[in-house]
Amino acid sequence: MNITFENVTFKYIERKILDNASFSITENDKVGVVGVNGTGKTTILKLMLGIENPKSGKIIKSGGIRINYLPQDPKFDLNTSLIDIIMNDSTADNPILDYEAKSILSKMGFDDSSITTKNFSGGQLKRVALAKVLVTPCDFLVLDEPTNHLDNELITWLEKYLIKFKKGIFMVTHDRYFLQRVCNKMLELDFGKTYLYEANYDKFLELKAERLALEKVAEKKLKSILKSEAEWMSRGVEARRTKSKSRIERFNELSKIEFNEEKTMEFTSISSRLGKKLISLKNISKAYGDKLLFDNFSFDLNRDDIIGVVGDNGAGKTTLFKILMDEVKPDSGEVIKGETLKIGYFSQHLELIDPEIRVIDYIKDYKSNIETLDGTISASDLLERFLFDSNLQYSKVKMLSGGEKRRLQLVKVLISNPNMLLFDEPTNDLDIYTLELLEDYLLSFKGPIMVVSHDRYFLDKICNKLLCFEGNKIVESLKSFSKYLEEDNNVVSEKPKVDNTRKRNRLPSAIKQEYQNVENRISEVENRLGFLKEEIKNPKYDYTKLMDIQKEIDELEIEYDKLMERYFELIEIKSNYDE
């Protein structure tokens, strides 16, 4: 199975997304797609799926190819149950078994498969969509930001799942550890061109640096030739009579070449004066109904703190930020803040931006002239610094990519001249180039920073401290985030689980029946695989028959892996009951 782009060109209004792009991927490739926000990473996924059509060129897909797509912002019928959403693509030829659907939903945190998505958050919808694409049989997975809204445990699980996945993967993600560990190829989008590297993320960075160095040398030579030819063409009328026709034609062709002048982005802001008193939390507690988020938490913020706030989804990280901004009151305890403190808050919610407003007005409505380290500049000039050219500035916000909207949010935060930053999932949808600039900015920021994130690379690079949500406690740690996760996983694997729940006397009959069914099916699959692996050695079969046997072997091996995963889950469930 393969997918091939042949000289594909695509424009979105005036923006050239792809310019004569050609590349090919096979079902053995695990490809990470990278590029600056707005260069067309999501568009290339939609072209591959046929959601968008190229202006010219061809996209060739093997006959019968099955592609599962995880969109950046999935939508579902609000009245359909989770189990029906998952089972919707089940067919006689490619069935999804009931236990598979329930198992993957449970893995994504949904124990009740009969509920609908009516009151689901964007993160919950993403996890439902992820469950659906992983359990539905396919030849290629096409994933748009698969780690967004996942907690650390689920990101680690997904990473291991995709490493073992035996079909093709084509994904956009900003998670650099994820790219490094999962992908064997990288596709870079740059000025409408595509560059396919047979490399993981680290090797890709080396190869890209080599490519750019060679391109600079070639461009310098070309500009030199063009300059000398322009001088030759500009000579007087007498000289023009003797000019070679072929040389004039060559000059005209050279003049059509567009040089991609590299645009750079810079993050700068003037910080307001920060006094000695910052933030002090004294024995604060917060609960919603019966759910206790944290209890008796005390903490003093220091001027040089860059704190990673980490923990499972729903643990209370965003609530802690809202308490710091006086949007939510703690149930008990005291929050003491300095008078000079000016907090810049970066929300994880894009819906805070009016989609119908123009980009330039989103900034001008707050400030028309902005104080920077280089003096006072206009809103338009500031947006230029953040790679919003004149066309983009007068577009409506709804026309921007997800990453461009996040970058626009960032501009709004920085022009408020904060002396403390609270960032809630800032890495979601940002491209790697912008992330690197953001990391450098945060490291140079003259004031304390607290950041909620699941991005391991990002947290490892910038943070000097962690606040870890563990149960209903918030624990301070000086470890790197990767080290914290590693030790946490070791504790889980080395120590037996302590189950504090009271054991019930009898195993529910539904669990008992499923356990028996899975056990029986494992035995059937093992026997069938043994038979087929002997059959495929039979010299009397023709090529078509051998291919049919191999196809059945592949499908059974995938089913076997899923059966074994569920089998061990059921054993763990059974351990909570007296037989």
Q: How far apart are CA 326 and CA 304, in angstroms?
A: 23
Residue 114 pLDDT level (bands cut at 50, 70, 90): very high
What is the mean pLDDT of the segment spanning 143-167? 89
Based on the fold, state whether residues 196 and 214 are members of the same structural domain: no
Q: How far apart are CA 525 and CA 563, in angstroms?
A: 9
Based on the fold, state whether residues 395 and 515 are members of the same structural domain: no
Based on the fold, state whether residues 318 and 390 are members of the same structural domain: yes
* Residue 194 parent element (H or E): strand 193-197
If you compute the radius of gyration of the chain from its CA atoms, what whole number of angstroms results? 28
Bridge-based pairing state of the strands 2-12 and 56-61: antiparallel
Total of domains in the chain: 4
Residue 572 pLDDT level (bands cut at 50, 70, 90): low
What is the mean pLDDT of the segment spanning 189-195? 87
- Residue 431 contacts residue 388 (beta carbons within 8 Å): no
Tens digits of per-residue pLDDT, 427-448?
Answer: 887 888 888 888 888 888 888 9
Domain assignment of residue 492, yes or no: no
Instruction: Quote the pLDDT of residue 236.
Output: 53
From the number of C-beta atoms within 10 Å of its C-beta (0-12, 13-18, 19+), residue 517 rates as middle
Q: Among 93-97, 264-268, 554-558, name the one with the lowest average pLDDT.
A: 264-268
Based on the fold, state whether residues 155 and 73 are members of the same structural domain: yes
The separation between the first and the last C-alpha atoms of the chain, rounded to the nearest angstrom, is: 49
Q: How far apart are CA 144 and CA 129, in angstroms?
A: 11
Compare 59 and 429 and report the one with higher pLDDT: 59
DSSP per-residue string spanning 409-477? HHHHHHTT--SEEEEESTTTT--HHHHHHHHHHHHH-SS-EEEE---HHHHHHH-SEEEEEETTEEEEE
Residue 301 has phi, psi (to 5 degrees) of -85, 135
Total-model pTM: 0.68
Domain boundary among 485, 500, 527: 485
Sheet holding 279-288, edge to edge: 291-300, 279-288, 332-337
Provide the CB-side half-sphere exposure for 75 (13 A, CA). 0
Instruction: Quote the pLDDT of residue 486.
Output: 81
Based on the fold, state whether residues 284 and 355 are members of the same structural domain: yes
Instruction: Quote the pLDDT of residue 230.
Output: 66
What is the mean pLDDT of the segment spanning 124-151? 91
Compare 558 and 168 and report the one with higher pLDDT: 168
Compare 181 and 242 and report the one with higher pLDDT: 181
Looking at 1-135, list the stretches that DSSP marks H as alpha helix, in order from N- to C-terminal side. Answer: 41-49, 82-87, 98-107, 122-135
What is the mean pLDDT of the segment spanning 77-99? 89
Residue 415 pLDDT level (bands cut at 50, 70, 90): confident
Domain assignment of residue 274, yes or no: no
Tens digits of per-residue pLDDT, 226-265?
Answer: 666 666 666 654 555 555 666 566 666 656 655 555 555 6
HEC assignment per residue over 310-336: ECCCCCCHHHHHHHHCCCCCCCEEEEE
Residue 358 has phi, psi (to 5 degrees) of -75, 150
Mean of all residue pLDDT scores within the chain: 83
Q: Among 59-73, 142-156, 248-262, 275-289, name the one with the lowest average pLDDT.
A: 248-262
Instruction: Write down how long the chain is.
Output: 579
- Unique residue bearing structure tokens 């993967």: 169
Instruction: Quote the pLDDT of residue 578.
Output: 53
DSSP code for 504: B
Compare 296 and 366 and report the one with higher pLDDT: 296
* Percentage, residues of the chain above pLDDT 90: 35
Instruction: Quote the pLDDT of residue 506.
Output: 60
464-484: b (≥16 Cβ within 10 Å) or e: ebbbbbeebebeebeebbeeb
Q: Can you tell me whether residue 490 is helix, strand or coil?
A: helix
Based on the fold, state whether residues 110 and 225 are members of the same structural domain: no
Tens digits of per-residue pLDDT, 501-555?
Answer: 333 446 667 677 787 888 888 888 888 888 888 888 777 777 778 888 888 888 8
Based on the fold, state whether residues 468 and 537 are members of the same structural domain: no
Based on the fold, state whether residues 422 and 322 are members of the same structural domain: yes
Q: How far apart are CA 374 and CA 33, in angstroms?
A: 35
Domain assignment of residue 311, yes or no: yes
* Residue 543 parent element (H or E): helix 543-574
Domain that holds residue 285: 279-485
Pick from 155, 193, 188, 165: which is nearest to 32 by CA? 188
Based on the fold, state whether residues 286 and 190 are members of the same structural domain: no
Q: Show the tokens assigned to 552.
A: 């059945």
| Contacts (Cβ under 8 Å, ≥6 apart) of 405 | 350, 353, 397, 429
Domain assignment of residue 362, yes or no: yes
Tens digits of per-residue pLDDT, 255-308?
Answer: 665 555 555 566 666 666 777 888 999 999 999 888 899 999 999 999 899 999
* Residue 374 parent element (H or E): none
On the question of pLDDT at 342 being above 50, the answer is yes
Bridge-based pairing state of the strands 185-190 and 30-34: parallel
Residue 495 pLDDT level (bands cut at 50, 70, 90): very low
Based on the fold, state whether residues 466 and 402 are members of the same structural domain: yes
What CATH number is given to the structural domain containing 183? 3.40.50.300
CA-to-CA separations, 449 to 299, 320, 442, 513, in angstroms, rounded: 14, 14, 8, 52
Domain assignment of residue 165, yes or no: yes
Domain assignment of residue 442, yes or no: yes
Percent of the chain that is helix, strand, coil (3-state, to 5): 40, 20, 35
Based on the fold, state whether residues 125 and 251 are members of the same structural domain: no
Domain assignment of residue 430, yes or no: yes
Domain assignment of residue 532, yes or no: yes
Conformational region of residue 375, where left means phi above 0, alpha means psi within -120 to 50, and beta covers everything else: left
Based on the fold, state whether residues 322 and 460 are members of the same structural domain: yes
Residue 223 pLDDT level (bands cut at 50, 70, 90): low
Q: Among 71-85, 311-325, 434-448, name the one with the lowest average pLDDT.
A: 434-448
Q: How far apart are CA 100 and CA 106, in angstroms?
A: 10
On the question of pLDDT at 376 being above 50, the answer is yes
